[in-house]
Amino acid sequence: MLTMETLCKTYPNGTKALEQISLNVDAGEIVALVGGSGCGKTTLLRMISGLEAPSRGHVAIDGETIHAPHPAIGLVFQEARLLPWLTVAENISFGLDDLPKAEQDARVDEALLRVGLAGYGKRWPRELSGGQAQRVSIVRALVTQPKALLLDEPFSALDALTREKLQDHLLALWETHRPTLVLVTHDVEEAVALADRAIVLQPKPGRIFADIPIDLPRPRDRLSAEFAEAKRLVLTALDGSINQPNPHQPGKVYSPAAGGSF
């Protein structure tokens, strides 16, 4: 579904942000990108979205190379970025101009209901809390029913309780059409709560250090021993990615399923 082949990114000043990133993400899969600061998580997300061009390699969705923002790929930023001159309903329906007005309204009403904001359509963005605004942002990206949705630390500015509730809302929305999700996060618990795989990136330059499957049933019990073990695996890989400069042979990626070790 999403294919990244030998992606590299070098900026004009010579800084290597990413090197030799190759990754396949299946349709309906949720993948979390985790790693220390400067490992290129956001750069990689921007290249998948078409907002930034790779220096080498390419990104494709269903075999079509991405050269610019693509209608099949939605993007949610750290901030809600709602248009202040539009109501909540108008923000959500912004990308639905090709649909009849009745269908636009039906999609908006259903989406607001699913995230606990029924009746908020006529409100202005300034009247929303941070968590409410981010719910609207996620709904706006999903209401167009994209094949893939990219999320750049969408809950990082929220308190822990609100963040957990919005993670649950995101999964509830994902269940409807099961788009592919690629999530950038610094929060290991968030990665384990949401993802089917955690991709741990190593910095300077950014490259894949570990590909860790998270084979836990949903809804996930955050207090279970299995959840704690999955967190331990990701944290161990994260620690290894930071403290071991070049632990692997070029092109080799650690995977616990393959019996790898740090």
The domains of the chain are located at: 2-83+149-258
Residue 221: pLDDT above 90?
yes
Residue 252: pLDDT above 70?
no
> Considering Cα of 177, then 178, then 183, then 187, what sign does the dihedral take?
positive
CATH of the domain spanning 2-83+149-258? 3.40.50.300
Mean pLDDT of all residues in 27-40 = 93
Contact 8, 18 (CB under 8 A): yes
Give the Cα separation of 97 and 88 in Å (integer): 16
pLDDT at 114: 84
Mean pLDDT of all residues in 43-56 = 94
Mean pLDDT of all residues in 37-44 = 90
Mean pLDDT of all residues in 234-241 = 93
pLDDT at 106: 92
pLDDT at 95: 82
Residue 100: pLDDT above 60?
yes
Residue 256: pLDDT above 80?
no
pLDDT at 254: 57
Q: How many residues are present in the chain?
A: 262
